[in-house]
Amino acid sequence: MSNLSRLLVIVWLFIVLIMVTCYNAALSSMLTIQQIQLTRRGIDIGYHAGSFIEGVIVNNSNFKEPSLLPYNSLAEYASALAGGSKKGGVVAIMDEFPYIKLFLAKYGSAYRLVSYEPSTNGFGFVFPKGSPLVPDISREISKLREEGELLKLEKKWFKKDSSFLPEDSQAPANLTILTLYNFRGLFYIGGVMLAFMPLAYLIHFVYTYAFLIYHVLVAPPPLELQMLNFL
C-alpha cells in the first residue's frame, strides 16, 4: 500500500469514527430522555379539576404517591409551574390535549409539551346509534380537513398569542436529529481528499516517467560510457 492510499484510508477512518461517535452520543441522549420517569416520592402534579386525569395519574405506574393539585384555569397552571414544588406549585401539568394546546398557545414561550399520543387533535362527537347526523357531520369535517379550514382555525385560535410549540423556543429544547447534512463538512473533506489522491498519483506518475525518459533519451551518458565508446 502506497503512502497516498494509507493517507486516504486514515482520512476515511477518521470520518467514520466521528460519525459513529456522534450517533452514539445522540442515541444515548435519546434513550436517557425517554427513560426519565417521575418516580420520586412526593412529586407534585397538577391537573384540571373535575377531570378524569386524576385517575390516570394515580393508576399510572410511573408515579409513586404523587401530590395531586387541582387547578381551574390556564393562569393557575402558569402560576403553579412558575412556582414549582418548593413554592407550593407543581413540576408538571397533566391534562387533556386540547386544554394543553390552549395553554401552550398562551404560555408557549415559557413551557413546552413533553409527550403526548393523541388519536385526534380535539374532542370527538357522540351520537345515538343510527343517527342521521353522523354521515353529514363526518362529510363536512372531512371537507374542512381537505380544504385546510381546520388548520386555519387552529392557527387562528391556538396560535394567536404565541406559537404552539414555537419553532424559535422549541428548537433548543428538542433533541437534535442527526442527518447526513450535519456531517457535510466531513464529506467535503473526504471528497476533496478522494479527488486529490488520483491527481497526486497522476502527478507522481508523470514526474517519475518523465524523469526516466529524460535520463534515457536526453541526458548525456556517464563518463565511463563515453570513454568506452571513444576506445
Scan for cell 463538512, then name that residue. Answer: 185
Residue pLDDT, tens place only, 90-136: 888 888 877 888 888 888 777 877 765 555 555 677 788 888 888 88
Cell numbers for 104: 401552550
Task: Answer whether 77's CB lies under 8 Å from 96's CB.
Answer: no
Per-residue pLDDT at 171 exceeds 70: no
Per-residue pLDDT at 231 exceeds 50: no
Task: Answer whether 166's CB lies under 8 Å from 109's CB.
Answer: yes
pLDDT (0 to 100) of residue 159: 58
Q: How far apart are CA 113 and CA 106, in angstroms?
A: 13
Per-residue pLDDT at 40 exceeds 80: no
Which residues does 173 contact at the CB level (< 8 Å), separation at least 6?
A: 112
Cell numbers for 10: 486514515
Residue pLDDT, tens place only, 47-78: 888 777 777 666 664 555 567 888 888 889 98
Task: Answer whether 95's CB lies under 8 Å from 57's CB.
Answer: no
Strand partners of residue 69: 46
Q: How far apart are CA 50 and CA 229, in angstroms?
A: 116
Instruction: Using alpha carbons, list the distances in angstroms from residue 62 to 40, 103, 170.
Output: 9, 24, 25
SS (H, E, C) 138-150: HHHHHHHHHHCHH
Which residue stretches of 35-148 are H helix? Answer: 53-59, 74-83, 97-107, 133-147
Q: Please, what sign has the CA dihedral across residues 62, 53, 95, 157?
A: positive
> Considering only 21-25, 116-120, 161-165, 214-218, which range has the smallest mean pLDDT?
161-165
